[in-house]
């Protein structure tokens, strides 16, 4: 005897996904480099040194003097000798007067003898011109250095990155729809006097 059966055949639904991947693009342009370095300033100021050599006293020690100097010295010596001579004659006159007053009759002879004696000359060894008769004056030179630096001028520009982004897409489609089929097997209906298969 065949038993009635229900046969079911099902087909699941299938979804199909069409995915387009996103695209991202990053470009980094190089920076604009602009650096300027001003040149430093170097300034040197020099005050030259001086050397002064004065040989006037050395030349005068060797009796090589200027005309005006020799004339002035000769005038001074003449005036001194004249004053000395006046003083000597005045003192001799006073001496003679006092001697005659005391009864000394040979005063003229004494003075003549004294005046006829040769003077004593002094002689000393020395250097001509003498040491230190040349005046030397030196002033040192001076060097002033001025140095001035400048900071670099930086005009560098940084450029930001270029970003490009294309989003991805997803398309959903039905690849297969669901399906359910139901079959009845050996299913019969019995009535009065008849039997039929459903």
Least confident interval from 3-7, 150-154, 174-178, 180-184: 3-7
Q: Considering all CA atoms of the chain, what is the largest pairwise distance in Å, rounded to the nearest integer?
A: 230
- Give the model's pLDDT for residue 35: 92
pLDDT classification of 101: cutoffs 50, 70, 90: confident
**pLDDT for 9-25, tens place per residue?**
999 999 999 999 999 99
Measure the CA–CA gap between 88 and 49, rounded to whole angstroms.
56
pLDDT of 198 strictly over 70: no
Measure the CA–CA gap between 32 and 155, rounded to whole angstroms.
8
- Give the model's pLDDT for residue 113: 85
Measure the CA–CA gap between 181 and 56, rounded to whole angstroms.
147
- Give the model's pLDDT for residue 95: 87
Burial category of 65 from C-beta neighbours within 10 Å (exposed 0-12, middle 13-18, buried 19 and up): middle
pLDDT classification of 112: cutoffs 50, 70, 90: confident
pLDDT classification of 1: cutoffs 50, 70, 90: low
The mean pLDDT of 184-189, rounded to a whole number, is 78
- Give the model's pLDDT for residue 109: 85
For 57, residues 6+ apart whose C-beta sits below 8 A from its C-beta are 129, 133, 134, 135
- Give the model's pLDDT for residue 125: 67
| 3-class secondary-structure state, position 42 | strand
Question: Using an 8 Å Cβ cutoff, are 163 and 26 in contact?
Answer: yes
**pLDDT for 152-177, tens place per residue?**
999 989 888 999 999 999 999 998 99
Q: Please indicate whether residue 101 or residue 33 has the higher confidence score (pLDDT).
A: 33
Measure the CA–CA gap between 52 and 97, rounded to whole angstroms.
60
- Give the model's pLDDT for residue 79: 94
**pLDDT for 32-89, tens place per residue?**
889 999 999 999 999 999 999 998 888 888 888 888 888 999 999 999 999 999 998 8
């Amino acid at each position: 005897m065949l038993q009635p059966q229900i046969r079911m055949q099902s087909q699941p639904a299938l979804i199909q996904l069409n995915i387009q991947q996103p695209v991202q693009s990053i470009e980094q342009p190089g920076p604009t480099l602009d650096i300027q370095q001003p040149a430093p300033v170097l300034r040197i100021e020099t005050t030259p040194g001086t050397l002064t050599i004065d040989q006037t006293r050395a030349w005068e020690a060797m009796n090589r003097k200027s005309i005006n100097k020799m004339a002035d010295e000769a005038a001074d010596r003449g005036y001194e000798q004249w004053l000395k001579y006046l003083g000597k004659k005045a003192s001799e006159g006073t001496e003679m007067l006092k001697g005659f007053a005391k009864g000394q009759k040979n005063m003229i002879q004494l003075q003549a003898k004294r005046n006829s004696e040769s003077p004593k000359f002094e002689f000393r060894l020395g250097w001509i011109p003498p040491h230190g008769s040349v005046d030397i004056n030196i002033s040192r030179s001076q060097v002033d250095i001025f140095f001035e630096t400048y900071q670099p001028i930086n005009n560098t520009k940084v450029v930001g990155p270029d970003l490009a982004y294309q989003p991805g897409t997803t398309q959903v489609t039905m690849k297969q729809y669901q399906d359910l089929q139901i079959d009845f097997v050996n299913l019969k209906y019995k009535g009065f006097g008849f039997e039929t298969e459903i």
